Structure 1
Amino acid sequence: MSQDIDYGTLMHTAMRGLIQKVLTNVSENGLPGAHHFFITFDTRQDGVELADWLRERYPEEMTVVMQHWFENLDVGDNGFAITLNFGDAPEPLYIPYDAIKTFVDPSVEFGLRFESPEDEEEVATHIVEESIEVEETPVQQDADVVSLDSFRK
C-alpha cells in the first residue's frame, strides 16, 4: 500500500499556523517597531465576514493593511476578527486563515503566498505550453563542432 505525503498541504498548514502565532503576539503586545502587514484574502471564501459594500467593491479579493489603526483583534484557531478603518468608518472583518492568499510584512521583507488549486493548474498549463513551444523550435543542424584540444596550451 503506497501513500503520498502531501507536502503542499502540510506547508500551508504550517504557514497558516505561523500567521496565527504572529497575530496572537500582536493581539497581546501590539505591533513591535516598524512591523506592519499586508494581508490579501479571497472575499468569496466560506466564512469571510465583511460589510456588503466592501464585498461589492472587492468581489474576488481584498488587501487590508494592519499598521497604525486597528481594533478588536481576536485570533482564533480557524481565523481572526479585526476592526479596520475604511475612510473614517470602522468596519469589522472576519478572515479565515484558509482565505488568505498572501501575508506580507514589508518592514522585514517577509512574505508568504498560498497557491490555490487554480493557481497550480495555471502554472502546470504554462509549463506544458512552454514545453510544447520548445519541442516545436527547430534545431540547427549545421552546428560547428569545436574540439577543446584547440584551446589547451
Structure 2
Amino acid sequence: MRMIEALVNKYARFYRASGKNSSAYTRLRPLNIAAKVILESQPNTSEDDLQLMIEGYLFSLVDGVLNNNNEGYIPSEAVKDKSQRQALIEDFSQYFVKEVFKNYCRGERSLLRQNINLIRHAAEAWYIKQYLKKPEEKAQKSENKESN
C-alpha cells in the first residue's frame, strides 16, 4: 500500500471528520497532530518517545470527541473498545514515525517541514475519495442493500 493511503486509512479507523461539509483541518487532524509533535520535539528525541508523544495527543483528541468537546466522530469499531482504540492509535503513531518521518523524510525535521503541505494535500485527496461518499453513491448502496 502506498504511504499516503496507508496513513489516512490508519487514522480513519479511530477518527473521522463529522459530515460532508467538514473542513480540511478537521479531516487531517491526526496527521497534523503527528507532524506538529515531531516538528516541535527536540532533535535528539528517540523514535519511541516521538511515538508516545503522538499517542498522548491522539488519545486526548479521541477522548475529546467521545466527550463532545472536539469535532469529529469515532468509527463504530473503535468506539466500543478502549483497548482497540489504543491499538489503532499506536499503529498510526508508529507508522507516522517510521514511514513518514524516518523513511520518507529521512529523520530530518527540515524535510518534514518542507514536505508537510504535499503530504497534507495528498492525504486530503485520499480522505475525500475514500471517506466522503457522494449522495448518489450512498443512495446506490442503500438500493443494493434493499434488493438483497
Task: Provide TM-score, normalisation by structure 1.
Answer: 0.34
Structure number having the greater strand percentage: 1
- Which structure's relative contact order is higher, taking Cα pairs within 8 Å and 6+ residues apart? 2
Q: Greater CA radius of gyration, 1 or 2?
A: 1
The structure carrying a bigger helix percent of its residues is 2
